[in-house]
Structure 1
Amino acid sequence: MEHVPTVFFLLSTLLIAVSVESLPPPLFPDEALPTKSGYLPLKPAPGSSMFYAFYEAQKPTSPLPDTPLVVWLQGGPGCSSMIGNFYELGPWRVMSRATELERNPGAWNRLFGLLFLDNPIGVGFSIAASEEHIPTNQRQVAEHLYLALVEFLDQNPGFENRPVYFTGESYAGKYVPAIGYYILKEKPNGKVKLKGLAIGNGLTDPVAQIKTYAVNLYYSGLVNAKQKNQLEKAQEISVALAKSRKWREAADARYELLALIGNMTGLATLFNTARSEPYRTDLVVDLMNKREAKRVLGVSETARFEECSDDVDDLFREDVMKSAKFMVEYAVERTNVLLYQGMLDLQDGVVSTEEWMRTMKWSGLEMFLSAERRVWKDSEGVVAGYVQRSGKLSHVAVSGAGHFVPSDKAVNSRDMIEDWVLGRGLFGGEVVKQTISSGFTESS
């Protein structure tokens, strides 16, 4: 009888060990957890809240009260910034399987705080109390973004003096200048210390941009002369409708134009000519709908995550073909502006951006257009792209990247954003002739 407790203890220990070993590892390692996440109520719209996920700087080079805060906005219109978080520039990403998070070697929160906002309300995990609360134009977008960011600063004492940089891609080519314009024009002495705006592969001046599609495709060898003429006619339909202020019809014509390009080229995606399949943003959808992900992010288990909201997209249909260029023109006189594009993007790429940039009404335009376009090489000496800069405007063409630049070129995109914010390397006051730690160099 005296040996029974010993046997029982051994069996119990064995069973516990087996049960522990059989438990799957957590989907989110401790290092992958956001510093903070949750909801920012929009007080003028009762019941409506903007969802956020915040990641503090991993290795800040300045005291946290002075550490830059980078805000990321996804495009669409109507797509969730959790795509940017878990597929592009966040500290952990899903690249091959929704059940496996991988450390991002080019996370944008290495030196800076990084805040993802599901904008506008009704997108991703953000909550719109009613459809009437959802913005339908850039003025309303800016008002909501400002309220959300002020609420975030109020909830985090010590954050009030952090320099703020708004960044985003695609349709955020309108959101970013909209919030910048709003702050600079109406809240210059408010709580948000705006220091810069960065737009990646943005749709900013649609009429000018779609006029470049046919010629760009032709000289890329993707269509022949006959197809080029067909595309030019399709382009003109959308342009003419926009000039007649038939905004919804103009937007529909643009979507038809993009579909025509897809059929002519046979590409897997217009967002990246080198890809044999579309970007796997669907992995983020699968991840966000897992119970553990919702628990970690602080959202209801009953919340259903969609990559992009069809309802929000439809509400913005009147806005699609309207230009936000005047907002960029206003901003670049007063704060730093970065425009960057992946060179493999056919939809909102380099040529389409340069088309509207060169027509800006800006006191520094002539000097910018005459500025040298310098070769940017990474830390291995490989060409990473091209940088043109003058005054407060910087333009970067990113080699080997498409529409989702941080996903395609993680480390290079991080180096770009860090050097731009800190004003060093090719973004500094002097030309750098030798390799620097961030990888930005001038070609010899």
Structure 2
Amino acid sequence: MSISLGACLGIILTTSYGLANCHHCLRNAYPTFDPLPVPEDVGEALILTPYIQSGDVDMARKLAKVSEEPFAGLVTSYSGYLTVDPDLNSNLFFWFFPAEFGYEEAPLLLWLQGGPGVSSLFGLFGENGPFSVDETGSKLITRPSSWHRNHSIIYIDSPVGTGYSFTESDQGYATNQTQIGSELYTALLQFLWLFPELQTHDFFITGESYAGKYIPALGYAIYKNNPLSELKINLKGMAIGNGFTDPLTQSRSADLLFSLGLIDRKYADGLRSREDQFVAALLTGNYSEAYNVSTVDICLL
């Protein structure tokens, strides 16, 4: 598969995803930059699902293998699209890096980014993948601590509409975590048919931030579907970094900060007031108000 460095950098840092029931976008911890120009035609989307379904796995892997420089000269990898809703032509983009050492037994990791709506290529280039990008944005730098050294790792842009993942219908955009988990599960099954040697490997779902919702959703989908599925995913665990999982549970921080001596009593009282307002707005379904309360500068209290 042909992958443009400029296109990758542009999509990593400028992705957005619409949120249901709220006209605001969530605060995003990830930086945004203007996308770099892509001078060449990157071609049509490589949808691998028809090859997988017809049993032509060898052709699918041949087409998916990344052959363009500078990527191919640094590491072996595979990339393409997996269809998760054929009626709406909804497709999830993935980029897979086999373990550099011990591939035959290395665990398989799935990395999901947060946001919501941030491409998992942010994690690839910015956090734990085989390479990063220099300050000019035009040159790759290998990462000595890459997770792919002793783990096979697949990065998926999820949900549909994030990064390179796309749909041809507005109905293809997920509105709940169950749908997101189901579509990731569908993509993961196809991926494991594409790489059948990985079907028995230990599998871990990993990610950070808003992926604290996607990761349990996928784990639950695997748990519910495994008993009756021909292909049983060997899920061994989940790893969530700084996860945004349950706003109600995670909204209370004033007492802890005060007990640690990080804030004084006046500041703690102001923060508790904001926490109460946030919870009240959330419980009544007033998500816009909850957002407004959570973004007020507490230093002004």
Which of residues 121, 134, 140 is equivalent to 2:179?
Answer: 140
Is the 8 Å Cα contact of residues 50 and 148 (structure 1) preserved in structure 2?
yes
Classify 1:247/1:104 alpha carbon distance in 2 versus 1 (closer, same or farther; 3 Å): farther
The separation in 1 between residues aligned to 2:257 and 2:70, in whole angstroms, is 42
Does 2:223 match 1:184? Answer: yes
Query: Is the Cα contact below 8 Å between 1:223 and 1:264 reproduced in 2?
Result: no
Instruction: Give SS of 2:148's match.
Output: coil
Whichever residue aligns with residue 194 of structure 1, its letter is L
How far apart, CA to CA, are the structure 2 residues paired with 1:48 and 1:118? 12
Instruction: Within 5 Å, give how 1:43-442 maps onto structure 2.
Output: 43-60=85-102, 64=104, 66-94=105-133, 96-190=135-229, 191=231, 192-212=233-253, 214-218=254-258, 223-244=263-284, 246=285, 248-249=287-288, 252-254=289-291, 256-261=293-298
Match of 1:272 in 2: none
Could you list the runs of 4 or more consecutive aligned residues of structure 1 that deviate by over 6 angstroms after TM superposition? none
- Asked whether the equivalents of residues 78 and 95 of structure 2 are also in contact (C-alpha less than 8 Å), the reply is yes
Letter of the structure 2 residue corresponding to residue 74 of structure 1: Q
How high is the TM-score relative to the length of structure 2? 0.69
Opposite residue 102 of structure 1, the aligned amino acid is I
Distance in 2, matches of 1:29 and 1:146, equals 28
Change (3 A) 1:264 1:86: farther
Residue 88 of structure 1 and its aligned partner are, at CA, apart by: 0.4
Q: Is the 8 A contact 2:277 2:293 kept in 1?
A: no
What is the alpha-carbon distance in structure 2 between the residues aligned to residue 71 and residue 235 of structure 1? 34
- Aligned-residue identity in percent: 37
1:123–1:113 distance in 2 versus 1, CA, 3 Å? same
* Structure-2 separation of matches of 1:217 and 1:130: 46
SS at match of 1:109: helix
Whole-angstrom distance in 2 between the partners of 1:169 and 1:28 = 28
CA contact (8 A) 1:57 1:113 kept: yes
Distance in 2 (CA, whole Å) between partners of 1:178 and 1:107 is 26
Give distance in 1, aligned partners of 2:286 and 2:178: 17
> What displacement does 1:218 show?
4.3
Over alpha carbons, which structure has the higher Rg? Answer: 1
1:207 CA displacement: 0.8
Give, in angstroms, the shift of residue 161 of structure 1: 2.2
Unpaired runs of at least 5, structure 1: 1-25, 266-444
Contact 1:94 1:100 in 2 (8 A): yes
SS at 1:83 equivalent: helix
Number of residues of Structure 1 aligned to a counterpart in Structure 2: 232
Q: Quote the RMSD (CA, aligned, Å).
A: 2.5
Q: Judging changes above 3 Å, is the alpha-carbon distance between structure 1 residues 241 and 188 closer, same or farther for their aligned structure 2 residues?
A: farther
What is the CA distance between 1:47 and its match in structure 2? 1.6
Please, which runs of 5 or more residues in structure 2 have no aligned partner?
Answer: 1-67
Distance 1:87 1:34 in 2: 19
Contact 2:159 2:174 in 1 (8 A): yes
Cα contact 2:101–2:149 (8 A) shared by 1: yes
**Alpha-carbon distance in structure 1 between the residues aligned to 2:286 and 2:101:** 46
The offset of 1:111, in angstroms, is 1.0
In structure 1, how many angstroms separate the alpha carbons of the residues matched to 2:158 and 2:290? 25
Corresponding position of 1:320 = none
SS at the partner of 1:75? coil
Shift in Å, 1:112:
1.1
Residue 78 (structure 2) aligned to one of 36, 39, 47: 36
The secondary structure found in structure 1 opposite 2:197 is coil
Secondary structure, aligned partner of 1:42? strand
